[in-house]
Structure 1
Amino acid sequence: MARVLLADDHDLMRKLLRTVLSTRPGLEVVGEAADGPEAVELARTLEPDLVVLDLAMPGMDGLQVAGAVRAARPDCAILVLSAFDAEHAAAAALAAGADRYVEKAAGLHVAAQAAADLVKA
């Protein structure tokens, strides 16, 4: 079972992601963070296999969180799920240490499939 940490400052988005990811075999949401510093701390303490991360969060943005998670847990997969323009944001997210970028506009099922794919790899 792959352990997943959700990091998004919107409570509704975290709840929706939790609901959709829970329908995927092999994925278990083990924690939720509402800001960047909390995401980094939970990534260290919960030792997830995957962090699903928004770019726009208080305290630390998603790029900073991705870099901190990658440094602390190099084996942890990072999926950035954001509403920002994909071309610029995707390049920045990948450069910061993310493994994959998905636009929120693509839909939650696309994000869930990307999450499942990352933990299978």
Structure 2
Amino acid sequence: MSDATTRARVLLADDHSLMRRLLRRAIDAHPQLELVAEAADGAEALALARSLAPDVVVLDLAMPELDGLQVAGSLRADLPDCAILVFSAFEAERAASAALAAGADRYLEKAAGFEAAAQAAAELAVTRR
């Protein structure tokens, strides 16, 4: 994100269409965010991220093809300036630790809510740059 007037470009990756729809609504409602793409699996997420170079990727951990940890690790290597938010239903501290170790900037449980995830994405876009 180059300045305060530019909206952060977000890629959303979750294999559940309902989760994507609800998070898409929260992202669309956030004035600092612009959803540029959605992926239903990890391989699609990685391919889209490599082609679009979003400011923020919001990932679920449990996805087909490549899981969120694999995607986060590849993104950190390929797109070091991209912020990575893992937004997952896993509540275990181990899941959060694994996500951060894989390269995620932040871990947020889905129980925190979709607006909280959108806000976290906006904050990461600012602090990552």
TM-score between the two structures when normalised by the length of structure 2: 0.91
1:45 aligns with 2:51: yes
Q: 2:114 aligns with which of 86, 96, 108?
A: 108
Shift of 1:26: 1.8
Deviations 1:31-88 (A, max 9, x none): 0000010000000001100000000000011000000111110000000000012411
Inter-CA distance 58–31: structure 2 relative to 1 (3 Å threshold):
same
Q: Which residue in 2 is equivalent to 1:90?
A: 96
What is the SS of the residue equivalent to 2:65?
Answer: coil
What stretches of structure 1 of length at least 5 have no aligned partner? Answer: none
- Report the Cα distance in structure 2 between the residues aligned to 1:86 and 1:107, rounded to whole angstroms: 17
TM-score between the two structures when normalised by the length of structure 1: 0.97
Q: Please identify runs of 4+ aligned residues in structure 1 that moved more than 3 A.
A: none
Q: Which residue in 2 is equivalent to 1:29?
A: 35
RMSD: 0.8
Q: How high is the sequence identity, in percent, across the aligned residues?
A: 70
The aligned amino acid for 1:68 is: S
What is the SS of the residue equivalent to 1:119?
Answer: helix
- Report the Cα distance in structure 2 between the residues aligned to 1:38 and 1:92, rounded to whole angstroms: 21
What stretches of structure 2 of length at least 5 have no aligned partner? Answer: 1-6
Shift of 1:24: 0.9
